[in-house]
Amino acid sequence: MEVLQRTANRGSVSTGPYQIGNSVKLEDTNTEYLQRAASGSDGDRRTMTLSMWLKRTAIGNDHIFYSQGSHVRFRWKTSNYFSLRLANGHEFENESRLFRDPSAWYHMVVAIDTTQSTDTNRVKIYWNGVQETTFDTAQYPDQNEELTLGQFSSVTTQLGWFVEGGYGFDGYISEVNYIDGLQKAPTDFGEFDSDTGIWIPKEYTGSYGSEGFFLNFDSSGSMGADSSGNSNNFNLNNIAAADQATDTPTNNFAIGNILTGTGGYFVITEGATKAVLSTAGPGNNIGGVSLMSTLAPSSGKWYFEAQNTNSGDAYLFLGVADTASIGYTDGYVLGGQSGTLPSIAWRGGGAYDGSAKVYTNNAATGSSVNWETEVVGVALDLDNSKIYFHLSGTYINSGDPVNGTDNGGQYDLPTAVDNQWLLGVSAYNLATWLLNFGGYTTMSISSAASDANGYGTFEYAPPTGYYALCTKNLAEYG
């Protein structure tokens, strides 16, 4: 079964007392990971706890997000279920519980104590505060058995990689706690919100033991720094300051939704904020294939930016679509010539005719503007059913998203079906789209502008009253 709301934290609770500031974005194809080299002393190899938060940006592949040596592997397998291997003959899998929600932050706790007399107490696995008790495979260690986990002196430890197999992880990782010598409960790291029942983070205040560590990724210049006080630091492999993100379990930002609207043509990377279309004309609709947001507001005012970095591309669209559109054949969500579901998009390009027009379903209006390689943006006003588009900070046709006056630069949203609006991009011919919802982007940002609440990092300041699409803002305005 799919992991349900109670065990799939969408980060919708923003009022918890403990707030997490940062995560690290990891990319498998870039071989991005953190590594603690084999050195020093072993930790307790019978009793330990590992806690971390994870957000996936790719599914259907073998993704290993924590490993030690050749035997210890924490991973999601190609069928999207969790697999834990502690050593040869010590594996745990539940193939019916699937983790495939790219909008969710998942919290994992694996708590081990092989000194326990009852075998099921020796390894405990929790997802968002709920213990996993059903397994297709469950091979418990012998009593008092020493495991490779904790063997820091002679094997390397990787976060986001398995060196011997060459498997990595695509997504965001936050708040990594390794507790040496103690089997902890999930309530040491999180709690159920009393109003919603959603699992939210809690500050860990206990001991780490001599070989424990805490990675919070708060310093962009020292992403592998151990904040437990033990100085058990990790080295960085292909990770730079730019891989620090503000997308966290306590403020979950929109990213591109890998599950819907791609049509199987976009290659989506960089924390689901980069979409490459390398096939010219992958369909018969002018709107091409779309990549839309994981979050869909139904009210409020919202802002996001995008940039196509390939000069000369054509049939490019930037806009919004009602969630009813995500089932549209082959992912043609924005600007589809034969589309009938609610969407509105601004069209640009270079090789085709260098023009930009607003498309609402099948109707085209607006002036011709060239915006290839430029930063373009959307200001979406769901309170008044209007949308505005800008080119390098200047709104087309003198649009004014703050005052909302009808001066030719505002466009009415089509009649909604679900009244939940996705923001995103589409392309028909070759394109490299970079998306920026504020939590992470590979766009070159020079101004680091945020919304009035201080959320998001944008090239151009969101208009007054418009906000980054993240759960803290959604809780207040959406």
pLDDT band at 340 (very low <50, low <70, confident <90, very high): low
Mean pLDDT across 385-394: 93
Confidence check: pLDDT of 365 > 80? no
The pLDDT score that the predictor gives to residue 235 is 98
Evaluate whether 45 touches 149 at the Cβ level (below 8 Å). yes
Candidates 69, 78, 122; CA nearest to 98 is 78
CATH number at residue 456: 2.60.120.920
Higher pLDDT, 365 or 404: 404
Same domain? 318 vs 423: yes
Confidence check: pLDDT of 3 > 80? no
Mean pLDDT across 401-419: 85
Same domain? 200 vs 295: no
φ and ψ at residue 429, rounded to 5 degrees: -100, -165
- Residue 258 within any structural domain of the chain: no
CATH number at residue 146: 2.60.120.200
Same domain? 225 vs 312: no
Residue 5, helix vs strand vs coil = helix
The answer for 373, left when phi > 0, alpha when psi is -120 to 50, beta otherwise, is left
- Residue 261 within any structural domain of the chain: no
- Residue 253 within any structural domain of the chain: no
Mean pLDDT across 247-254: 97
Evaluate whether 206 touches 187 at the Cβ level (below 8 Å). no
DSSP, residue by residue, 187-240: GGTEEE-TTT--EEE----S---TT-EEE----TT-TT---SSS----EEES--
Same domain? 291 vs 377: yes
Q: Token digits for 464? A: 């007054």
pLDDT band at 6 (very low <50, low <70, confident <90, very high): very low
Evaluate whether 251 touches 21 at the Cβ level (below 8 Å). no
d(CA 297, CA 74): 34
Same domain? 210 vs 352: no
Confidence check: pLDDT of 133 > 90? yes
pLDDT band at 9 (very low <50, low <70, confident <90, very high): very low
d(CA 15, CA 200): 10
- Residue 307 within any structural domain of the chain: yes
d(CA 100, CA 41): 38
Q: Token digits for 32? A: 């991005």
pLDDT band at 262 (very low <50, low <70, confident <90, very high): low
List, in sequence order, every residue forming a beta bridge with 348; answer none if it has no partner: 316
d(CA 353, CA 356): 9
Confidence check: pLDDT of 100 > 70? yes
Same domain? 175 vs 302: no
Confidence check: pLDDT of 162 > 80? yes
Evaluate whether 177 touches 42 at the Cβ level (below 8 Å). no
d(CA 308, CA 350): 11
- Residue 329 within any structural domain of the chain: yes
Q: Token digits for 164? A: 């011997």
Dmax over CA atoms of the chain, in Å, equals: 76
Q: Which helix (H) or strand (E) holds 474?
A: helix 471-477
The mean predicted confidence, pLDDT, of the chain is 88
List, in sequence order, every residue forming a beta bridge with 235; answer none if it has no partner: 35
Residue that terminates a domain, selected from 245, 275, 291: 245
First CA to last CA distance, the chain: 29
Mean pLDDT across 206-212: 97
Name the one residue in this structure whose structure tokens are 């390894």: 123
Higher pLDDT, 217 or 8: 217
Q: Is 144 exposed, middle or buried (0-12, 13-18, 19+ CB in 10 A)?
A: exposed
Q: Over the stretch 265-308, which tens digit does the pLDDT of each residue have?
A: 888 999 999 999 887 655 444 446 888 999 999 999 999 999 99
Candidates 182, 198, 3, 160; CA nearest to 75 is 160
Confidence check: pLDDT of 146 > 90? yes
Query: What range does the domain containing 329 cover?
Result: 267-477
Confidence check: pLDDT of 330 > 50? no
309 residue type, one letter: T
DSSP character for 449? B
Candidates 170, 139, 126, 125; CA nearest to 30 is 170
DSSP, residue by residue, 314-374: -SEEEEEEEGGGGGSGGG--SS-TT--SSEEEEEE-SSS-S--EEEETTEEES-----TTS
Evaluate whether 106 touches 132 at the Cβ level (below 8 Å). no
Same domain? 234 vs 293: no
d(CA 51, CA 67): 13
Mean pLDDT across 211-231: 97
The pLDDT score that the predictor gives to residue 289 is 80
pLDDT winner (highest mean) among 58-72, 112-126, 288-302: 112-126
The pLDDT score that the predictor gives to residue 5 is 37
d(CA 24, CA 248): 9
Contacts of residue 405, defined as CB under 8 A and 6 or more positions apart, other chains included, come to none
The pLDDT score that the predictor gives to residue 329 is 43
Same domain? 241 vs 285: no
Helix, strand, coil percentages in the chain from 3-state DSSP, rounded to 5 = 5, 35, 55
| pLDDT > 70: percent of the chain | 86
Contacts of residue 231, defined as CB under 8 A and 6 or more positions apart, other chains included, come to none
Candidates 51, 185, 67, 55; CA nearest to 109 is 51
Candidates 103, 96, 61; CA nearest to 81 is 96
C-alpha angle 245-232-123 in degrees, rounded to nearest 5: 85
- Residue 127 within any structural domain of the chain: yes
- Residue 106 within any structural domain of the chain: yes
Residue that terminates a domain, selected from 245, 280, 314: 245
The pLDDT score that the predictor gives to residue 2 is 33
Number of domains forming the structure of the chain: 2
Residue 323, helix vs strand vs coil = helix
- Residue 453 within any structural domain of the chain: yes
Same domain? 294 vs 152: no
Residue that terminates a domain, selected from 178, 210, 245: 245
Same domain? 163 vs 280: no
Mean pLDDT across 151-162: 95
Q: How many CB atoms lie within 10 A of CB 134?
A: 8
pLDDT band at 372 (very low <50, low <70, confident <90, very high): confident
Same domain? 370 vs 235: no
Candidates 34, 41, 70; CA nearest to 176 is 34
pLDDT winner (highest mean) among 180-189, 318-327, 394-403: 180-189
Same domain? 158 vs 188: yes
